[in-house]
Structure 1
Amino acid sequence: MSRKDFDPTTVAPDGREPSKARLFDGTADGPHRGSVDGEVLGTRVTVLTYGNDEPGVGPPLHVHPYDEVFVVQQGRARFFVGDKVIDAEAGDTVLGPAGLPHRFVNLGPGRLQTLDIHLSPRWIQTNLE
């Protein structure tokens, strides 16, 4: 598929250098294996990785002052976002809008692995449980 969504001559580089940061250590235990604040990379997006092998388990109910986008990379999850319940599986993307409390759990069987994209240069969260 060929794409030409914009004219590249209309966007000038802003002077930032390419950068790299380690998101997670694959040998580490626990569900929150790592995060990279956007500030480290010189961008406005923070990335987290989350995973667990236990059905019914997930992060506590919490809220952010910005949108969060979840990418289910492996397994199945049930998201509770405000008053909505959304079941998602590997390949699905779910939005948690700014200011709307949310949580999710592993539906099983097997591992749930997500990539969580925070539209903020740093991770800001208030747990409600």
Structure 2
Amino acid sequence: MADDTTTQRAIRREDWSETPGEWHGEVQGFGGEVSLIFVRAEPGKGPRLHSHPYPETFIVRAGRALYTIGDREIEAGPGEILVVPAGVPHKFRSLGPEVLESIDIHASERFITDWLE
């Protein structure tokens, strides 16, 4: 039988979305083990170079983006998944013309980011 720390829970969209009706927001400590960012990035936008002491997984829902992961550049679109190993510098930029929507999964109960640019 699962205890309270391993029991799955549901979080309603209105509880994590920063803008009602849009795919944008975050949740830290989901299930006690991961944190989530729900990205909505206009063309040309995205975070600057950074790293985390844990892996990060990107799941692209809509749009296209250019991901820089270490010394590689990877263009990704809907349904594609990218994994950045712990400590590897990375960033992305929405390519347009559509808005980028992604789910970014941080393998940590809280966000820890080292901004490099």
TM range (shorter): 0.7 to 0.9
Runs of 4+ with >3 A deviation: none
Alpha-carbon distance between aligned partners in 1 of 2:2 and 2:108, rounded to the nearest angstrom:
19
1:81 alignment counterpart: 69
Task: Name stretches of at least 5 consecutive residues in structure 1 with no aligned partner.
Answer: 1-12
Q: Is the 8 A contact 1:23 1:48 kept in 2?
A: no
TM-score, structure 2 normalization: 0.85
Query: Higher strand proportion, which one?
Result: 2
Which residue number corresponds to residue 6 of structure 1? none
Normalised to the residue count of structure 1, the TM-score between the two structures is: 0.78
Residue pairs, 1:1-129, within 5 angstroms? 13-16=1-4, 17-21=7-11, 22-27=15-20, 33-38=24-29, 41-54=30-43, 56-129=44-117
Residue identity over aligned pairs, in percent, reads 38
Q: Residues 18 and 111 from structure 1, CA distance in 2 versus in 1: closer, same or farther, beyond 3 angstroms?
A: same
Distance 2:8 2:52 in 1: 28
Gaps in structure 2 of 5+ consecutive residues? none
**Alpha-carbon deviation of 1:28?**
7.8
CA distance in 2, matches of 1:24, 1:86: 28
Aligned length: 112
